[in-house]
Chains A and B, each alone.
Chain A
């Protein structure tokens, strides 16, 4: 059921163009000290799951194992906040996660988010960021899943 990555390369390219200027613009994040996640930390989708057909408006529910959630800006050991990456790849790991339509920040510690997507296939990926929105080292990241909006 999984469709080939190539078939929506155009979509990806478009989103990268959109996201590009953010990384180009920020030069301050060069030497951010990245947090170490606790052992066994894992972020995953409760819903939707890979390959699922979903309505245009649906709730993404996020699970997190062996770690806690804290709002952005709160420095607390073994915590982070969720980011939902839609139709995009994670950026360079040492940089803060950009904030745009493709990188949805759940900065208040939310564990679910309602998204509305146009019909067709889309990719979703979860990436945890620390208090400065920077991914951990190694990143706490879900596999990229593909869903079909009907």
Chain B
């Protein structure tokens, strides 16, 4: 095959990547070409061509088109960088320039072959630590239990707090229910699909519909980024037999430990109208609350789909099965207020909203906001928190 000529001065190299570099499992490779130009594949131009990245392979034959497979990646659109994912271990990378027909030039324009090492364990980002003794478990559901096709599965938690996804907390996480699935890789985000159900808003139960037959269930707690803790907080994997409602003898438990929590609509959302996460605010500021798909009622008023706000200042999410404490850090808006003026000392503070029912107990699923961080600017007249 006819090879296109190339100037001998042309040089091809990796940008910011040297031999024996350690790299993460997924990273961006950048290519630099000098003395030639980049043209998309198929465009015959003098002194021009497009990049090919050779991964874990020797140089191909130089007188024919470069193969196209997982080891020979073509950048026929004229790309000059690519994000690649490599398995842990050592890999070789090499760049090879080729003409409009994917045939290397004469002389071939290529980079040195370099070796990179992908860390065996992506340990650059430590997993959230879980306190020893933290555990999750199924409430009133034992290994080998028989449940109807549509069953309410309740999750118990002990020694670790429930915080919604997105909210960082020293010892908290949210539930994931693994249905008919093995434990996923513990060093990365738990997958999100029909077999890995996320309860990112801090739900502690789910109405699960399963086809009749044998199934396995397992709980796995994830941190704010859905990554399991270190050590992982997970339940036993239990086997359940699902039978059709019609012939199911009510083998499911009726009594549930603890007090019943008021139900909340699944799409209810409480959020901060002001301030937003990361905002800088005055020492004395009015915090404004938004509530979607639910209504506000004063404390003591039991009405479906209503609740009253609680503003949590500089505290982790309290236990969701009991009344929200009432103190300086747990501000009750029992009169049905939808905003509150507070005074905070300068510095960083966290704020979170949590709706609760007539008896100050959070709903199920809990209606709570992410915990936001605000910075109080210095220079206030008062620095003591009011009330």
Contact = CB atoms under 8 A, between A and B. Distances in A.
Chain B, interface size category, equals 20 to 34
A68 to B, nearest CB: 3
A68 B335 contact: yes
Contact of B290 (A61, A65, A76): A61
Contacts of B336: 68-70, 76, 79, 109
Given A108-B306, A111-B291, A67 B337 contact: yes
Given A46-B288, A71-B306, A109 B297 contact: yes
Contact of A76 (B286, B298, B305, B333): B298
Contact of B338 (A71, A76, A77, A111): A111
B338 A63 contact: yes
B295 interface: yes
B303 A108 contact: yes
Most A C-beta atoms less than 10 A away, residue of B294, B305, B338, B339: B338
B297 A106 contact: no
B177 to A, nearest CB: 31
Interface residues of A, number: 22
B335 A78 contact: yes
A112 interface: yes
Given A70-B296, A74-B298, A74-B303, A111 B335 contact: no
Per DSSP, chain A at the interface is loop
A50 B298 CA distance: 30
B295 A76 contact: no
Given A69-B296, A111-B289, 18 more contacts: A46-B290, A63-B273, A64-B337, A64-B339, A65-B286, A68-B298, A68-B335, A68-B338, A69-B297, A70-B296, A71-B297, A79-B336, A106-B295, A108-B306, A109-B306, A109-B336, A112-B291, A112-B292
18 contacts: A46-B273, A61-B273, A64-B338, A64-B339, A67-B335, A68-B333, A68-B338, A70-B296, A70-B297, A70-B298, A71-B295, A74-B297, A78-B335, A79-B336, A108-B306, A109-B297, A110-B291, A111-B295
Interface of A: 46, 61-65, 67-71, 74, 76-79, 106, 108-112
